[in-house]
A and B are shown apart, each in its own frame.
Chain A
Amino acid sequence: MGAKKTNIVVKKLRDIFLNINMLFLASTLVLYFLILYYAYRVDLLLGRSEIITGYSLLFVILFLIFFNVRKRLTVLPVIKVSHWTKLHIVQGCFCIILYFSHVKTLMPLGANEIALAILFYLSVITGLLGYFFNKTIPRRLTESNIEIIYEKIPSVISDVRDQVEKIIIKCATENNTDTLTRHYVETLNWFFVKPRFLLNHFFGGQQGRHWVDNQTQSIQHFLNDSEKQYLIEIQKLAQYKNKIDFHYSLQSCSKAWLFLHIPISVMMLILVFWHLLIVNIYAI
């Protein structure tokens, strides 16, 4: 019994310490410790530690940028993309330490250096924002109980709209009344045209659902029993559309951060090379 317990503990410890995340974290910590210690020794020897930390930072930034290239080169057997992502996140966080050991201040002087620092900070902030989105958004999407591919959303919305319109026509034909038809044209049509209440969905609000409920309840008193059955069907489709809107809002966010992160990182890389060139011409 005791041996079994010990085996379980050992297995759990092995799971904790020998997984790939820990390996990446530990190797990064060791690497950074060596770089910073070497820079400290160079500083003591009246050398220029900025050269050590600067070139190390350059290699880390190149490594981080290469992640985008690796994603496109699917044919290359260079570590799994999921591992690359983990390394990208770990290195991206730790390079802040390297950055401060290189610059030694929160905001350097000189227009070029200030621009470089601002781009670095923006790149880090947008990266962390992306990491936050990637950690929280999938869980929230799962809770919605539907699955939908981002690129298919316009088509699905169109399908839903078609279904609703078919129901409206059928209702009008069968009952010879246009109450529901006019209500659709004047109010519900706005909702089915495209995704609505995006900001509210992003912050977890229920404005869309309440809007649908309000609109269906307000017309209910003017419908006969047959029309009410059609209204229930329309309401179900509207709630489904509301969930699609929720998906669209969150999935847009999980992609939109890259619109900032990638251009900022590329612009930073351009300034990094300019900085490298100027430093080598003037100072080293």
Chain B
Amino acid sequence: MWKKECWQGPRNDGRCGGVFECKPQKNGDRYLCTRPQNAGGVCKQGPLPDGNCCLKRPACSPVPSNRVVRKYFTLISSIALISIMTLILALNFNNKTGSIVIEPGELTSIHAAYTEDIGCSSCHKVHDSNLHSWIKSVFTDTDISNQCLDCHGFHEPQMGAHNFEFNKVSTQNALTVECSDCHKEHKGSNFEISEMKPSTCNNCHEKKFNEFEAGHPEFPEKFPSSMPNSINFNHATHLEEYFVDPKWIDKPDRDKEFATIAKDDCTVCHSIDSVKSNRIKPKGFEEICSSCHLQQVRSRNLVFFRPDLFTAVSGLLLNVSEDEEDEKIDDYIEMLNSFTNEPGLELSKLIETLDINNGFSELFLGINPLLLKSTAEKWVDEEDLETELSEELKYFGWLSGYDEDYEQTFRYKAYSHNDPIIKEWLELTLNLSKKNTDGKINESAIERLRETMLDKKTGPGACAKCHLSGLTDEVALSTQLTWKYRINKDRKFTNYSHGPHINLLNPSENCIDCHELDKSSKYHEFFKEDNLKINNFNSNFLSIKKEKCDTCHKRGKIDASCTQCHRYHYEPINKKVFNKDVKKSNS
């Protein structure tokens, strides 16, 4: 390479340009040297007699120029890349998992687990298709959201903003959102797929802000207790009076020790062992209420019959209004007479006549027909019944004879909280109040029964004393009866979790940092009415202010993004189960 190059240079195909200095030309009968001047000009010897050049040199192997080497290098590397990709695609392609030259990254662990059986085509339908569909899909839109709905379900409209029909936005104008607009997949197994930026929320929301402390609106006036819970429990009176005042705690049927602890420690009544979302459920009646209130449950009877008077229950059974009672007293006596023969059968007939047996099969659960028969016999003969029952039986269950007020009654007395018979009668009462009976049952009789059952001071089992809200407020009437702790469905898109807050604060002392007691609240006013209106409810806690949160949730401290407290989807459900055993048993 490091020698002087010949003047001809290599040929176009890269071979040696020749071994002679020139190619002599014939001029008549002589050959002439044709070496150019820049290569040294005509040589002294001149061409040989046979016409060949006299200067012969050995042939060389021309070295390609940089440009040529680069061209081949580029070509070879490109062919190598295409070959490797083709090879990987051929060897590695799997109908289920695709190939590494296709996969854009790992799925999130949960999606990877759900799609492992079907593979790529769980979401990408085209994956299982033929070449024609592949080519077609290059030029057509891919719809992945529909595949998402195979496993995920939402409230209708499923593709609408927040899966909810807002009053202010008509369905036609509602924004349609694709799942992949917010949820990006193939970003690794630990990728937070549900994370959303404030700017995304700002796009639709009128009040736009990027930081909680800077622009988030103040919390509503009655936050977070805008609606009553299913149980009427006045925190103010309990903490300020019943747990403190000797007038109450020194009463013989009260647990003074419990009251002393409970007044300072919320966790005595509220369970924090299994804190989930925003629910801090109170513990059960037996654990926290019974020490003071069990006696009230036991002391209130459900009176079925009297010797010569209608009761609310007997009025209903005979379908007689309060005004007609005097006129229909003969019917009542006749009913008592019928009880002297087959009391069980007669009761069944009465229930069937009213058509109230459907769904209420335990109205007379465990009744002793002999007791009813003997009672009826005595009362028909205008005598009083004297029962000779054991001490325990005398006070609970189906009883007859003189009650606590020294009245002759046939009655039912609850032994404990959650008594099935009293509960059934209460539910029947509320059901009849709600349902249109088309005049089959006298409205007045229903109303009288309702008044009796829902009387907070004398109602049977003292149920109405605490459960009135869960049974009679607007929510209960529009949806279903709620005996137990009721989730506040009004906060559809709020996702507050007590868990981490409780871990940071001392739960037995610092609950009141946020839940400050409102001593002037008119909490009890709400429960005075018969048909409770949610708007009239006042919590006995002060509304929580935004400042409580932004002491910690702000820039440089704890995350204050929208999804920290709010959820986007309304009523999301998972249609499929992950556990293989469950899947097998289902199939």
Measured between beta carbons, the chain B residues less than 8 angstroms from A282 are 102, 124, 126-127, 137, 142
Instruction: State the main secondary structure of chain A at its contact with B.
Output: helix
In this complex, how many residues of chain A approach chain B with their Cβ under 8 Å: the count is 39
Give the distance in Å from the alpha carbon of A26 to the alpha carbon of B127 in the complex. 45
Smallest distance from the beta carbon of A45 to chain B beta carbons, Å?
6
Give the distance in Å from the alpha carbon of A280 to the alpha carbon of B124 in the complex. 12
Q: Quick one: which of A262-282 are within 8 Å of B by CB?
A: 262-263, 266-267, 270-271, 274, 277-278, 280-282
CB–CB A44/B199 < 8 A: yes
CB–CB A111/B203 < 8 A: no
> CB of A11 within 8 A of chain B?
no
CB–CB A158/B78 < 8 A: no
Smallest distance from the beta carbon of B2 to chain A beta carbons, Å?
4
CB–CB A278/B70 < 8 A: no
Give the distance in Å from the alpha carbon of A145 to the alpha carbon of B100 in the complex. 56
Within 8 Å by CB of B4, from A46, A48, A158, A274, lies A158
Q: Quick one: which of B75-126 are within 8 Å of A by CB?
A: 77-78, 81-82, 85, 100-106, 124, 126
Measured between beta carbons, the chain B residues less than 8 angstroms from A270 are 78, 81-82
Within 8 Å by CB of B137, from A43, A155, A280, lies A280
> CB of B30 within 8 A of chain A?
no
Measured between beta carbons, the chain A residues less than 8 angstroms from B1 are 154, 194
Measured between beta carbons, the chain B residues less than 8 angstroms from A281 are 126, 134, 137-138, 142
Measured between beta carbons, the chain B residues less than 8 angstroms from A258 are 70
CB–CB B2/A46 < 8 A: no
Type the 1/0 row for A100-130, where 1 means its CB is closer than 8 Å to any CB of B. 0000000011111100000000000000000
Measured between beta carbons, the chain A residues less than 8 angstroms from B126 are 281-282
Give the distance in Å from the alpha carbon of A259 to the alpha carbon of B73 in the complex. 8
Measured between beta carbons, the chain A residues less than 8 angstroms from B102 are 112, 278, 282
Smallest distance from the beta carbon of B288 to chain A beta carbons, Å?
48
Q: Which chain A residue lies CB-closest to B69?
A: A259
CB–CB B186/A109 < 8 A: yes
> CB of B144 within 8 A of chain A?
yes
> CB of B271 within 8 A of chain A?
no
CB–CB A44/B200 < 8 A: yes
CB–CB A44/B202 < 8 A: yes
CB–CB A113/B105 < 8 A: yes
> CB of B181 within 8 A of chain A?
yes
> CB of B583 within 8 A of chain A?
no
Q: Which chain A residue lies CB-closest to B72?
A: A263
Give the distance in Å from the alpha carbon of A263 to the alpha carbon of B181 in the complex. 37
CB–CB B5/A155 < 8 A: yes
Smallest distance from the beta carbon of A269 to chain B beta carbons, Å?
9
Measured between beta carbons, the chain A residues less than 8 angstroms from B104 are 108-110, 112-113, 278
Measured between beta carbons, the chain B residues less than 8 angstroms from A154 are 1-5
CB–CB A255/B66 < 8 A: yes
CB–CB A43/B199 < 8 A: yes
Give the distance in Å from the alpha carbon of A195 to the alpha carbon of B1 in the complex. 11
In the complex where A109-B104, A109-B186 touch, is A48 in contact with B181 (Cβ < 8 A)?
Answer: yes
In the complex where A112-B101, A280-B138 touch, is A46 in contact with B203 (Cβ < 8 A)?
Answer: yes
Measured between beta carbons, the chain A residues less than 8 angstroms from B134 are 281
In this complex, how many residues of chain B approach chain A with their Cβ under 8 Å: the count is 46
> CB of A232 within 8 A of chain B?
no
Type the 1/0 row for B401-417, where 1 means its CB is closer than 8 Å to any CB of A. 00000000000000000
Smallest distance from the beta carbon of A245 to chain B beta carbons, Å?
11
Within 8 Å by CB of A46, from B78, B137, B181, B188, lies B181
Give the distance in Å from the alpha carbon of A113 to the alpha carbon of B202 in the complex. 32
Q: Which chain A residue lies CB-closest to B80?
A: A267
Smallest distance from the beta carbon of A163 to chain B beta carbons, Å?
12
> CB of B177 within 8 A of chain A?
yes
Q: Which chain B residue lies CB-closest to A194?
A: B2
Q: Which chain A residue lies CB-closest to B203?
A: A44
CB–CB A111/B103 < 8 A: yes
> CB of A75 within 8 A of chain B?
no
Within 8 Å by CB of A155, from B4, B142, B180, lies B4
Give the distance in Å from the alpha carbon of A206 to the alpha carbon of B515 in the complex. 82
Measured between beta carbons, the chain B residues less than 8 angstroms from A111 are 100-101, 103
Measured between beta carbons, the chain A residues less than 8 angstroms from B81 are 267, 270-271
> CB of B182 within 8 A of chain A?
yes
Binding site for A on B (CB under 8 A): 1-5, 65-66, 69-70, 73-74, 77-78, 81-82, 85, 100-106, 124, 126-127, 134, 137-139, 141-142, 144, 175, 177-178, 180-182, 186-188, 199-200, 202-203
Q: Which 4 A-B pairs have the closest CB atoms?
A: A109-B105, A158-B4, A46-B181, A110-B104
4 new A-B pairs (CB below 8 Å) besides A158-B3, A263-B70? Answer: A111-B100, A259-B69, A262-B74, A283-B144
Q: What are 29 pairs between A and B in contact, CB < 8 Å?
A: A46-B178, A46-B200, A108-B104, A108-B105, A109-B104, A110-B105, A110-B106, A110-B186, A111-B100, A111-B101, A111-B103, A154-B3, A154-B4, A158-B3, A158-B4, A193-B2, A258-B70, A259-B66, A262-B70, A263-B70, A263-B77, A267-B77, A267-B78, A270-B78, A280-B139, A281-B142, A282-B127, A282-B142, A284-B142
